[in-house]
Amino acid sequence: MNSRTAPRAPIVVLASGTGTLLAAILRRSQDPASSFQIAAVVVDRDCGAVQIARDAGVPVVTCALADHPDRAAWDRDLAAQVSSFAPQWIVTAGFMKILGPAMLAGFAQRIVNSHPALLPAFPGAHGVADALAYGVKVTGCTVHLVDDGVDTGPILAQGTVEVYPDDTVDSLHERIKTLERDLLPDVVEAVVTRGVVTDGRKAHLK
Ligand SMILES: Nc1nc2c(c(=O)[nH]1)N[C@@H](CN(C=O)c1ccc(C(=O)N[C@@H](CCC(=O)O)C(=O)O)cc1)CN2
Ligand SMILES: NCC(=O)N[C@@H]1O[C@H](COP(=O)([O-])[O-])[C@@H](O)[C@H]1O
């Protein structure tokens, strides 16, 4: 049985949804061979991710936009809360808020997001519905670095999913999530252990 002696890199996961991507990252972190640990889960609303974190004994912080006077104050508070856990990397796993200047300055090039479409196609909060409505035959997911745009950051990995004629948003999204639950933990392990080289728009795992 591999038993790590090296300290595990702390990461913070941001979530807003059912939390199945968080659960996948959590499972990977609990593998004796993994190189990272989840120091905290930060949510912007009450959601399924909260109970998943609590059941695993992971600290949960809620930072809701409605609890702040404006978006900039929310962004600053979010950055302060995340910083308090001294993470090496941040992962947005179904986090449904666009991060602002405070978060991006505080963690430049250290935020990884998983998006349920093949970027640059179908960015935004409704990527699966937009791809289905467009009539694409193939879609998928994209794991990328987060920048000041919306889903415009350098791409680290992608996976493809065939679209079936009878697909609904839910059936297609579930197949995409199945892909993400493998790809995102793989990328997290890779960025923690190998790091990332960026060259303009392009990014490569070392
Ligand atoms: N600065 C960035 N922040 C975030 C990015 C990013 O690429 N740059 N990715 C998102 C995740 N995401 C897509 O993968 C995404 C999530 C939400 C939205 C959005 O339009 N949110 C609205 C509110 C929607 C809601 O509350 O339901 C908003 O923030 O006003 C776009 C893309 C994580 N953050
Ligand atoms: N644009 C952001 C976005 O749509 N993110 C998507 O939210 C889902 C979260 O699933 P989960 O709540 O089951 O982990 C994932 O499919 C992720 O790609």
pLDDT, tens digit, for every residue of 175-202? 999 999 999 999 999 999 999 999 999 9
Distance 206 CA to ligand 1 centre (A): 27
pLDDT digits (tens, 9 = 90+) for 154-172: 999 999 999 999 999 999 9
Q: Which residues are annotated binding-site positions?
A: 71, 96-99, 113
Instruction: Quote ipTM for the complex.
Output: 0.97
Tokens linked to 127? 């990527």
Q: Which one is catalytic: 68, 115, 173, 204?
A: 115
CATH number of 114-182: 3.40.50.170
pLDDT digits (tens, 9 = 90+) for 34-74: 999 999 999 999 999 999 999 999 999 999 999 999 999 99
Distance 30 CA to ligand 1 centre (A): 28
Given a cut of 50, is residue 1 above it in pLDDT?
no
Q: Which residues are annotated binding-site positions for (6R)-10-formyltetrahydrofolate?
A: 71, 96-99, 113
pLDDT at residue number 6: 77
Looking at the chain, the domain(s) classified CATH 3.40.50.170 span 8-108, 114-182
Q: Is 115 noted as a catalytic residue in this protein?
A: yes
Task: Tell whether ligand 2 has an atom less than 6 A from the beta carbon of residue 114.
Answer: yes
Task: Tell whether ligand 1 has an atom less than 6 A from the beta carbon of residue 150.
Answer: yes
Q: Does domain 8-108 have CATH number 3.30.360.10?
A: no
Given a cut of 90, is residue 2 above it in pLDDT?
no
Average pLDDT over residues 85-92: 98
pLDDT at residue number 103: 98
Task: Tell whether ligand 2 has an atom less than 6 A from the beta carbon of residue 21.
Answer: yes
Question: In whole angstroms, what is the distance from residue 34 CA to residue 31 CA?
Answer: 5
Locate the ligand 1 atom nearest the alpha carbon of residue 151 and give its number: 7
pLDDT at residue number 4: 60
